[in-house]
């Protein structure tokens, strides 16, 4: 009898919640909300947005690979880049199956004209698919959040992009005066300004060690000539993803981090305490930001 | 020659965060804490202050570099 009573008490709130809905609304994750051919019109975008808002807060699209248009399939790249050129998979996607666990905070947040709510995606491939279907000039701001390295940024373990890929993906989609933010470490060059900030100095030292010295010696061990290895990694270690992307997206303000961008919420333990271990945007980032418009540095 | 240059660069870069720790430790040794009632060494207060500052800033710098490396490895 007690078991029946407990079951009844457990089911009652669920029934109330379920009964509160007059009719089931289309979920934000429905791929049918997006036309399979061509771009969305502003009306369709508005409808899509309404659906997204009815979802569980941050809409996460679940688009099957067959509907992804010209997306390429490629194997996931390792996060660390010790001995090979930065892995740019450009629109790489693995599968649109279940959400991966334990990959920490990462994602893409897109602000579109005419909506107060941003679109948030945990997977880069889903965000890319949605961006391709947005009307031209509709994005007012977009943030790629994940791990960065000189010249490229990863969004999730299966999706990373360089300046060419970001340019191809977003060309024509950005509204006038829009902002693109790469929230990842070393997504801008260290620059040539003298600074007194010791943390900036330490970040620059670490960048040089990790992205020049380490891969240089790895290449030497692999039999590459000293001159070739030096020339290659001298070019790579201080690449400026933000500046290069700003040249691809004329008129868009593109920002990155000159240093390691440390997100306190990503620290082990803190993310669990704050419940931000699967966040799609970073909150506070400790790092030195740099912004460019058409390749020229502007105030962040 | 290129390898030697790269190796020297690594050593110098890796030594930078350790330098303040060594300098701080030397200063703290040079200006030891005086016993109660004993005559203080001239400049002891400033020496110990700078020594402590350098020592702990160096420790923090090493920890920060470790955080950067853990971040690079994807641990955080």
Contact B13 A268 (CB under 8 A): no
pLDDT at B49 over 90: yes
pLDDT computed for residue A45 by the predictor: 59
pLDDT computed for residue B71 by the predictor: 80
Is the CB of B34 inside 8 Å of chain A's CB atoms? no
Query: What are the E-state strand segments in chain A?
Result: 107-112, 119-121, 139-145, 148-149, 152-156, 159-162, 174-183, 253-257, 289-293, 296-298
Contact A206 B2 (CB under 8 A): no
**pLDDT tens sequence across A236-245:** 999 999 999 9
Contacts of B61 in chain A (CB under 8 A): 198, 202
Contact A226 B2 (CB under 8 A): yes
Task: Name the band, by pLDDT with cuts 50, 70 and 90, for residue B23.
Answer: very high
Mean pLDDT of B12-30: 94
Domain spans of chain B, in order of start: 2-30+42-72
List the A289-293 sheet strands across, edge first.
Answer: A119-121, A107-112, A139-145, A174-183, A253-257, A289-293, A296-298
Query: Which of A18-22, A182-186, B30-34, B39-43 is least confident?
Result: A18-22
DSSP letters of B26-60? HHHHHSPPPPTTSPPPTTHHHHHHHHHHHHHHHHH
Contact A217 B61 (CB under 8 A): no
**pLDDT tens sequence across A82-116:** 333 444 444 444 444 444 456 778 899 999 998 88
Interface pTM, i.e. ipTM: 0.84
Of A132, A134, A184, the residue nearest A156 (C-alpha): A184
pLDDT computed for residue A48 by the predictor: 55
Q: Which of residues 38-67 of B touch A (CB under 8 A)?
A: 57, 61, 64-65, 67
Considering only residues A245 and B37, tell me which one the structure prediction assigns the higher pLDDT: A245
Domain spans of chain A, in order of start: 2-189+239-298
pLDDT computed for residue A269 by the predictor: 77
How far apart CA B14 and CA B66 sit, in angstroms, is: 12
How far apart CA A263 and CA A265 sit, in angstroms, is: 5
Residues of chain A short of pLDDT 50, as ranges, are 1-34, 36, 51-100
Is the CB of A205 inside 8 Å of chain B's CB atoms? yes
Size of interface A-B (CB pairs under 8 A): 60
pLDDT computed for residue A130 by the predictor: 94
């Amino acid at each position: 009898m007690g078991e029946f009573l407990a079951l009844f008490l457990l089911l009652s709130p669920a029934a109330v919640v379920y009964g509160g809905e007059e009719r089931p609304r289309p979920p934000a994750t429905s791929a049918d909300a997006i036309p399979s051919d061509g771009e969305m019109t502003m009306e369709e975008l508005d409808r899509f947005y309404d659906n997204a808002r009815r979802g569980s807060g941050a809409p996460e699209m679940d688009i099957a690979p067959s509907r992804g248009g010209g997306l390429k399939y490629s194997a996931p790249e390792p996060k660390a880049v010790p001995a090979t050129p930065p892995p740019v998979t450009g629109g790489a996607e693995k599968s649109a199956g279940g959400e991966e666990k334990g990959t920490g905070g990462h994602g893409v947040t897109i602000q579109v004209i005419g909506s107060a709510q941003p679109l948030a995606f945990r997977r880069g491939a889903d965000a890319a698919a949605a961006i391709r279907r947005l009307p031209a000039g509709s994005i007012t701001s977009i943030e790629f959040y994940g791990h960065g390295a000189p010249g490229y940024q990863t969004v999730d373990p299966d999706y990373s992009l360089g300046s060419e890929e970001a340019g191809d993906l977003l060309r024509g989609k950005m509204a006038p005066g829009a902002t693109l933010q790469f929230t990842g470490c070393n997504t801008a060059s260290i620059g040539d300004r003298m600074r007194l900030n010791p943390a900036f100095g330490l970040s620059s030292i670490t960048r040089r060690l990790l992205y020049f010295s380490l891969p240089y010696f790895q290449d030497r061990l692999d039999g590459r000539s000293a001159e070739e290895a030096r020339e290659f990694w001298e070019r790579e270690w201080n690449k400026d993803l933000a500046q290069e992307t700003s040249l691809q997206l004329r008129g868009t303000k593109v920002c990155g981090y000159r240093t390691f961008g440390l997100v306190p919420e990503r620290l082990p333990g803190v993310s669990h305490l704050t419940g931000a271990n699967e966040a799609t945007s970073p909150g506070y980032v400790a790092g030195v930001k740099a912004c460019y418009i058409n390749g020229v540095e502007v105030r962040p | 020659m290129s390898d030697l240059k790269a190796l020297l660069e690594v050593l110098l870069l890796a030594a930078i965060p350790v330098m303040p720790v060594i300098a701080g430790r030397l200063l703290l040794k040079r200006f030891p804490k005086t016993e109660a009632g004993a005559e203080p060494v001239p400049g002891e207060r400033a020496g110990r202050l700078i020594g402590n500052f350098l020592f702990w800033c160096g420790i923090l710098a090493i920890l920060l570099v470790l955080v950067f490396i853990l971040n690079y490895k994807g641990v955080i």
